[in-house]
Structure formats: C-alpha cells, structure tokens
Amino acid sequence: MNFYILTLFPDMVREGLNTSIIGRAVQAGHLAIETVNIRDYTLDRHNRVDDYPYGGGAGMLMQAQPVYDAWKSVTDRLGYRPRCVYLTPQGPTFTQTMAKEYAGEQDLIFLCGHYEGIDERVLEEIVTDYVSIGDYVLTGGELPAMVMVDAISRMVPGVLTNQESGSWESFENDLLEYPQYSRPEEWMGKRVPQVLLSGHHKNIADWRQQQAELRTRERRPDLWQRYVEGQGGGGE
C-alpha cells in the first residue's frame, strides 16, 4: 500500500514513521510512505504558502495553489485520483473499522493542514474524506496523519508477524484486551493468576473473556453498551 502525505513538515512525518514496525514494513516493501513538501510547489518568490483570510479574522490560511499542485504531482503520476483524506477536527472520528476499510486501498493521499486551515476551494476540489482523530485541537494534521498511517498499516497483510497480529485485540469485538503477565510468577508480592499457570486452555480462554468483559464494563462503559447490544443479535 502506498501513502502520499502532503505536508509542510515532511521531516516530522518521515522521522515518525521510519521506526519500529512501520519502518520495518517499509523496508520489507509492504508499504511505501512518500512525503510531498507543499512548500516545494509555491510560486511565490519568498516561498510563502500562507496568506490572510478574506473578511479578516485571526491567523493565516494555506493558499489553494501550492496545495493543489502538490496533490496534482501525485495524481498525475498515478494517473487517477485516489482517496484524499484531509485531517481536520471537522470530520468523523477515526475508528478501527475505518482503519480496516482504508487498508483495502492501493494508494491513499493525506493532506495535513496548518495555521488556521486551508482555502476552502482547494478542499472542494481534491478532498474525498474529512477525518478527525478526536475531540481536541492540534496544531497541525501531521500527528493525525501519522496516527492513521500506523493504524491502517498494521491492517495491511504482511505488516505484522503472526506473533504481533494476535486475533484477540482491543476493539476486535468491542471488548478491551484482558490483562497479561510474564515472568516472574511473583513480583512485588503479586502472583500471576493461578489459572494462567494451569495449562488448562478452556479455563484460560474463559478467564480471559470474563476479564475482558469486566474491564470493558468498568473502563469503557460506552464500548460495553455497544457490546451488550451486539450480543443481543440486533447489532452490526
């Protein structure tokens, strides 16, 4: 899968994604992550990419032309217009379901905004998806883009090893993960739950399911509600 990230801060995005599992997946050829520096496409002789908003008001806006030309450099090369995600608080909140869906795309473009935003006209022209990562305000779209690339990438076949892609994951069935323990059997006077040492697979599975439910009910009543409704049969 190929990611194209249109940004004024390509170093930040590249540095953030060249490490650990995503970095390994790029090395292995499962993913390609290309940053496009929007500033490279300015026609302004002082390299400006922002200007004052018509009508007045606080802050500066990213201008339409450099954003459009950065996007066009990608779409011209590809010969088609892949989905283009604009990272903005003015969108539905990114979910695991969306991560799985995006992982089915061959190419995906991310547009990272800065300042007070981007001239609306270029958004109308190129953006297919408006996505937020939660109800708080960030200074730019780079971190949200990195969050999305990470979550989407780990759904791409080959990116995770079998070890890493445990079938039992948070959100997989609207439940949080059960608690886990490694050596030693006793630490700071706390013992690993006896059932996990028993070798009794059915009892272990039952215990984990029970813990996952308990934990979800206590920590994420919103998820628990959805889970209970789903069990009733009427759910997704």
Which residues contact ligand 6GU by CB under 6 A? Answer: 87-89, 132-134, 136-138, 140-141, 144
Distances (CA, A) of 110 to 35, 119, 123, 124, 151: 9, 16, 12, 15, 14
Q: Which is nearer to ligand 6GU, 9 or 224 (CB)?
A: 9
Least Cβ distance, residue 93 to ligand 6GU (angstroms): 8
Q: Which is nearer to ligand 6GU, 68 or 115 (CB)?
A: 115
Least Cβ distance, residue 119 to ligand 6GU (angstroms): 16
Nearby residues of 107 by Cβ (< 8 Å), 6 or more positions away: 1, 2, 3, 4, 78, 82
Least Cβ distance, residue 61 to ligand 6GU (angstroms): 14
Distances (CA, A) of 67 to 40, 94, 185, 211: 10, 23, 56, 49
Give the residues across from 33 on adjacent strands.
Answer: 3
Q: Which is nearer to ligand 6GU, 88 or 153 (CB)?
A: 88
Nearest 5°: the CA angle 213, 214, 216 is 65
Q: How far apart are CA 21 and CA 13, in angstroms?
A: 15
Torsion angle defined by CA atoms of residues 113, 116, 121 and 123, in that order, rounded to the nearest 10 degrees:
30
Q: Which is nearer to ligand 6GU, 105 or 129 (CB)?
A: 129
Q: Which is nearer to ligand 6GU, 68 or 130 (CB)?
A: 130
